[in-house]
Amino acid sequence: MCGIVGYTGPKQAYPIILKGLKRLEYRGYDSSGVALLKDGQLSVHKKKGKVAELEESLIGKNLDSNIGIGHTRWATHGEPSDRNAHPHTSANGRFAMIHNGIIENYALLKNELTSKGYTFTSDTDTEVLLNFIEFIQQNNNCNLEEALRIALKRVTGAYCILLVDRDDPQTIIAARKGS
């Protein structure tokens, strides 16, 4: 099982998230990643392999941010790869999400979204759920929390998820069921 970490507050998010991911390494994983939000820009960094490899790839990068999410993945849908690693970003680039668990009805949701013109950049059930949330948010013109609530009524499976919204510099939205 993988691990998820989120931080929002006055401190630098990245070192706290990195420390959290390292503490969760014992659970086993195949890739890791972080999404950091700063001045309305989401930056997502992810890598197959150990957290130390992610850390190394980020040396010298500007990671200044007071809010972010981080993930270690244990692949269930899609091979372990940079592309399938979390966080995932929604199609319009507004939301980033990490997910622990399995969305059992992801194929059904994916078909619905594909028929509405969505394309996917990974093989994961996670990206499907994220775009489903984005679709609901846009259709209902509601906030992310409300969109998530509506979306999860359609979801079967186990999950623990964290989401950040490019347009909300302080809030991490979380949901958990059976995971």
If the CB atoms of residues 125 and 168 are measured against ligand GLU, the closer one turns out to be: 125
| Residue 117: Cβ-neighbour burial (10 angstroms; 0-12, 13-18, 19+) | exposed
Per-residue HEC secondary structure of 43-98 comes to EEEEEECCHHHHHHHCCCCCCCCCEEEEEEECCCCCCCCCCCCCCEECCCCCEEEE
The residues that touch ligand GLU, with contacts defined as CB under 6 A, are 2, 73-78, 84, 99-102, 124-126
Among all chains, which residue has been given the structure tokens 């850390």? 55
**Minimum CB distance to ligand GLU, residue 12 (Å):** 25
For residue 93, which amino acid is it? Answer: G
**Minimum CB distance to ligand GLU, residue 46 (Å):** 11
**Minimum CB distance to ligand GLU, residue 28 (Å):** 10
Spatial contact of 15 and 71, defined as CB atoms under 8 Å apart: no
If the CB atoms of residues 124 and 168 are measured against ligand GLU, the closer one turns out to be: 124
If the CB atoms of residues 12 and 74 are measured against ligand GLU, the closer one turns out to be: 74
If the CB atoms of residues 84 and 137 are measured against ligand GLU, the closer one turns out to be: 84
Residue nearest to ligand GLU (CB): 2
For residue 64, which amino acid is it? Answer: D
**Minimum CB distance to ligand GLU, residue 78 (Å):** 6
